[in-house]
Amino acid sequence: MALKQDQVAANKKLALKLVWIIVGALLFAFALVPLYDVICSVTGLNGKTKNSAESAAKAVVDLKREVTVQFVSSVMPGLGWNFYPKQSSVVVHPGQVTTVMFEAKNITNVELAGQAIPSVTPGKASAHLKKIECFCFVRQSLKPGEVKALPLRFFVSAELPEDVQEMTLSYSFFPASQQ
Amino acid sequence: MSTTTVAHHDEHHDHPTGIMRWLTTTNHKDIGTMYLTFSLIMFLVGGSMILGIRAELFKPGLQLMNPEFFNQLIGVHALIMIFAALMPAATGFANWMLPLQIGAPDMALPRLNNWGFWILPPSAILLTLPFTLALFGVGDGALATGWTFYPPLSVQGGIGVDFAIFAVHLLGISSVLGSINIIVTIYNMRAPGMTLMKMPMFAWGWLITAFLLIATIPVLAGAVTMLLTDRHFGTHFFDAAGGGDPIMFQHLFWFFGHPEVYILLLPVWGFIPQILQTFSRKPMYGYKAQVYSLWAIGALAVVVWAHHFFTAGMPVPALLYFMYSTMAISLPLAVLFYCWIRTMWKGSMSFETPMLFTVGWIILFGVGGLTGLVLADVAADAQYHNSYFVVAHFHYTLFAGGIMGIMAGVYYWLPKMTGHMYNEKLGKLHFWLTAISFNVTFIPQFFVGLAGMPRRIPDYALQFAEFNMISSIGAFVLGLSQLLFVYIIISCVKGGQKATDKVWEGAEGLEWTLPSPPPYHSFTEQPVVK
């Protein structure tokens, strides 16, 4: 169907404008990745906690309050380890520095490296669980059959919302061997 | 006017014939026919896959297939029904009817239109090829993650995931090309005098659909591309070990996925009021209210996505926001329902097949909408999530609200497209078979879902046995009834009673001013709308 020349030009012009919307939407999809991280770390969404050391120097110990911290561990497929906390939970005062031991064993006959990823529930508590020292800060490597004690030193900040009496810290060990 | 177009038509007999006609055509009617045919074929392919599922679920225990194959059938069924059956059907109608309804000689970008269609068959092949490859020992079959591609499962999956990712890329390109074309056609090609607020409702429905498509399909394309690089190029977008987050995929996916629901339904909401006014023999009620409601739904569609994964863990304020915004969609939708019912009110109604499908559609789609309100309730959703209740709910919206709507459109416009009347008796039989067996299939699923039967699992607890057996019987009747639909369409294309130009006594609109079937080139002189 032969369209008039000015009609064809007008159609092309509008079509090109629409292409820009599509390009914009595609860029938006990739921009959502950093945006998502920022939103999660600001709001504590998905229980993301800081994976770096914090200082307990300025922590105020609130002896009037008690908080139960539970520990959950899992190992992702592809990593032949046993991994569990030595205690399933501890009761702490906000501000009080506590050490908890985890243990990992390589049950395969090859050396394997793993990276632990923490997550805290409920989400609004995640920003208040402060780690001073953690095996999750670096990659861990285990020789065949090796057993390793993995320490975690942490405290719960006194700013933890009043209604949180219990929180769960979960660690998942992911395979992290360099191929 | 029609005489001039017919005269014009005779000068243009130099187009190629046979297969080359269809490969190279830039004619909107040819392309519309190809879209609709493709959609019908893929509807049957996707339907036979789910009959495999229902056969397996006929009895508890594993009888016919292993769980991997079951998972593959479920995921590919959904992708085919959404991307290769429902969306092409709506695009087919847009190609056939938009130029006729707005008085344009053709679509604005005919060559783009041709490409848009011919991308579809290769992508359908990509989607289903892994089934065949697995028979020859290559790979382990098709996508087995469900249509939602959730990582980490999709990162670990076999080659079926890669095939599906590329299929989605192609389907996405096809959709955005089609959308560009439709927006340009509606904006630039309307007949003189046809202002936006005088456009047929179908054009409004499609205009909003097209905008939703070009805004959200690229996000899906981006998300599956990230999945692809996670799988093969060592990125960690969705891998928690590398600092990524699998939940982020759910956000990206449903940012597309929720508007997709309205992408499937808005074109139907466009032509349903036209069918209602035709068979009620009075003008559509609340044209303006309907247009504004369509826009409101289009806008709300992109801000409610997280209600698909309330249980993934979200802060309470986010849960409340997504709950209330989701429920807010029912307000413009209630306006639409009111207008549809009010159009019929005190009308001089008759119940030919298109009207039967439309009235049935209003009732069944209403059930889908109301059960959606239940699911939107955060507190209740923990019980309903990932259960058969959800399956029943979205089949009420997408089979009843989508496919039965499309069928109403097929019966409404088939005489215009072919120039022959379809067999009214068989059409009515097809409606009753479809409507009854659809309910027999899905009403039991509400109950088993509420009782705790999870979706996407090939086996189930014994207490669900009776309801599943009823559901499977319904599904087989529903599936076989569609062969009648195919027969009705084929016999209508081949011959039958000659259709008049106007076809239906109460029909209004430019497409009914043309002969049935319309000439190959129509509206070469644009009509003037007063």
* pLDDT tens digits, B294-303: 999 999 999 9
Q: Which residues of B touch A15 (CB under 8 A)?
A: 108-109, 112, 180-181, 184
Instruction: Tell me the per-residue pLDDT of B339-365, one tens digit each, with 9 for 90 and over.
Output: 999 999 999 999 999 999 999 999 999
| Paired strand residues for A171 | A73, A118
B13 pLDDT exceeds 80?
no
Looking up tokens 């990582």, which residue turns up? B151
Residues of chain A scoring pLDDT < 50: 1, 179
Distance from C-alpha of B225 to C-alpha of B158, rounded to nearest angstrom:
16
For residue B441, give the nearest of B34, B46, B50 by alpha carbon: B50
Structure confidence at residue B312 (pLDDT):
87
**Nearest CA distance, B218 vs chain A (angstrom):** 5
Does the pLDDT value for residue B529 go beyond 90? no
Which residues are CB-neighbours of A47 under 8 A, at least 6 positions away?
A: A118, A119, A120, A121, A122, A123, A126, A170, B313
pLDDT of res. B275: 97
Residue A70 exposed, middle or buried by CB count within 10 Å (0-12, 13-18, 19+):
middle
- pLDDT given at position A48: 66
Q: Is there a contact between A19 and B189 if contact means CB atoms under 8 Å apart? A: no
Residue A29 to residue B222, Cβ atoms within 8 A:
yes
CB contact under 8 A, A15 and B109: yes
Q: Which of B214, B20, B194 minimizes the C-alpha distance to B98?
A: B194
Both tokens of residue B408?
A: 């109403």
Weakest-pLDDT range from B157-166, B192-201, B233-242, B443-452: B233-242
pLDDT digits (tens, 9 = 90+) for B454-493: 999 999 999 999 999 999 999 999 999 999 999 999 999 9
Measured CA to CA in angstroms, residue B465 lies from B57, B59, B114, B172, B475 at distances of: 9, 6, 48, 39, 15
CA dist B283 and B345 (Å) reads 11
The three-state secondary structure class of A172 is strand
CA B497 to chain centroid, in Å, comes to 30
Round to whole Å and give the CA distance between A79 and A173.
Answer: 8
Measure the CA–CA gap between A122 and B452, rounded to whole angstroms.
26
Which residue in the block uniquely carries the two structure tokens 């340009």?
B184
Residue B198 has pLDDT above 50, yes or no: yes
Q: Residue B139 has what pLDDT?
A: 86
d(CA A54, CA A77): 31
Q: pLDDT at position B317, please? A: 87
Residue B207, pLDDT score: 97
Fold for A47-175, please state it: Ctag/Cox11 (Pfam 04442) (2.60.370)
B26 touches chain A (CB under 8 A): yes
Residue B8 has pLDDT above 80, yes or no: no
Interchain pair B241, A115: CB under 8 A: yes
Q: Which of B250, B89, B107, B79 is nearest to B168 (CA)?
A: B79
Q: By CA distance, what is A136's nearest residue in B?
A: B241
**Overall average pLDDT of the B131-159 stretch:** 91
- Give me chain B's average pLDDT, please: 93
Contact flag B237-A76 (C-beta cutoff 8 Å): no
Separation between Cα atoms, residue B248 and residue B246, nearest integer Å: 5
Rounded to the nearest angstrom, the minimum Cα separation between A69 and chain B is: 19
Whether B313 has a pLDDT exceeding 90, the answer reads no
Q: Supply the pLDDT for residue B5.
A: 42
Which of B168, B219, B305 to probe the A interface (max A CBs under 10 A)?
Answer: B219
B381 pLDDT above the threshold of 80:
yes
Tens digits of residue pLDDT in B62-78:
999 999 999 999 999 99
Pick the closest to residue B35 from B215, B151, B137, B174 (CA basis): B174
Q: Where are the domains of chain A?
A: 5-43, 47-175
Given CB atoms, is B237 within the 8 Å cutoff of chain A? yes
CA atoms of A136 and A173, how far apart (whole Å): 9
Residues B450, B395 contacting (CB under 8 angstroms): no
